[in-house]
Chain A
Amino acid sequence: EAGVAQSPRYKIIEKRQSVAFWCNPISGHATLYWYQQILGQGPKLLIQFQNNGVVDDSQLPKDRFSAERLKGVDSTLKIQPAKLEDSAVYLCASNSWDTQYFGPGTRLTVL
């Protein structure tokens, strides 16, 4: 069974630029999550999708972050414009019966 796929693995941008991350969950998993993991901390949920609907985006900074999951499969997370404090690893996960499976993450560095 293929795991959760994410791209790119690394991204370096300057502040005020835009960036987008892509995630392809495990086939058949209806629930998809985006987490932000700042160095030295545990992951923090940004947004949760159930199929193509948003379940929880209470911790998503909506003035600069956006996410979509068209057709209820792949998802993209966008940051526009990026700030220095957005430097982190962005993890995507999908859910099967109360257990989340994570992708390899995208490490974002904002200079």
Chain B
Amino acid sequence: AQTVTQSQPEMSVQEAETVTLSCTYDTSENNYYLFWYKQPPSRQMILVIRQEAYKQQNATENRFSVNFQKAAKSFSLKISDSQLGDTAMYFCAFAHGGVGDDKIIFGKGTRLHILP
């Protein structure tokens, strides 16, 4: 069974600093997708970034980038130049590939505080 582990329950950084959130996962599959979702106090789950396992290049979206280490089954999120609006819960998530309609398995989340 696939599992997703986020070892940092809570983190705080100063505004404009860079922060890295850790995530490891376990799967025997070779084709899958990894995601980082952001959930602010409004509860809206927002997709931050997405990585296909077959791609070697790390995904980037503006200030957000990932370090995808397939052999180590590691998928960390780096937020550069952090902003107050980045304060939220961040969930690492895994989805089986193939059809692409499979369920997403979420980690327990990391609560990130950006301090002014």
Contact of B33 among A48, A98, A103 (CB under 8 A): A98
B47 at the interface (CB under 8 A from A): yes
CB closest chain-A residue, reference B32: A98
A105 contacts which of B43, B103, B106, B108 (Cβ < 8 Å)? B43
Contact B45–A91 (Cβ < 8 Å): yes
Say yes or no for A100: interface residue by CB 8 A criterion.
Answer: yes
Measured CA separation A32–B59 after assembly (Å):
26
Beta-carbon contact of B47 and A45 below 8 Å = no
Give the A-B pair count, Cβ closer than 8 A: 60
Q: How far is the CA of A83 from the CA of B37 in the complex (A)?
A: 29
Residue with the greatest number of chain B CB neighbours at <10 A, chosen from A44, A45, A98, A102: A98
CB contacts under 8 Å to B, within A25-59, are: 30-31, 33, 40-45, 48, 50, 55-56
Chain B residues with CB under 8 Å of A45's CB are: 103-104
Q: Which one, B12-20, B67-75, B76-84, B94-102, is touching chain A?
A: B94-102
Q: How far is the CA of A43 from the CA of B47 in the complex (A)?
A: 14
Contact at A104–B43, with CB atoms within 8 Å? yes
**Residue numbers in A under 8 Å from B47 (CB-CB):** 99-101
Residue B44 CB within 8 A of the other chain: yes
A71 to chain B, nearest CB (A): 19
CB distance from B31 to the nearest CB of A (A): 11
Inter-chain contact B100/A97, CB cutoff 8 Å: yes
Beyond the given A97-B100, A98-B97, please list 6 additional residue pairs across the A-B interface where CB-CB is below 8 A: A98-B100, A99-B35, A100-B47, A102-B37, A102-B45, A102-B46
Could you write out 16 A-B pairs with CB less than 8 Å apart?
Answer: A30-B101, A40-B108, A41-B109, A42-B4, A42-B106, A42-B107, A43-B104, A44-B106, A91-B43, A91-B45, A95-B101, A98-B100, A100-B95, A100-B104, A104-B43, A104-B44
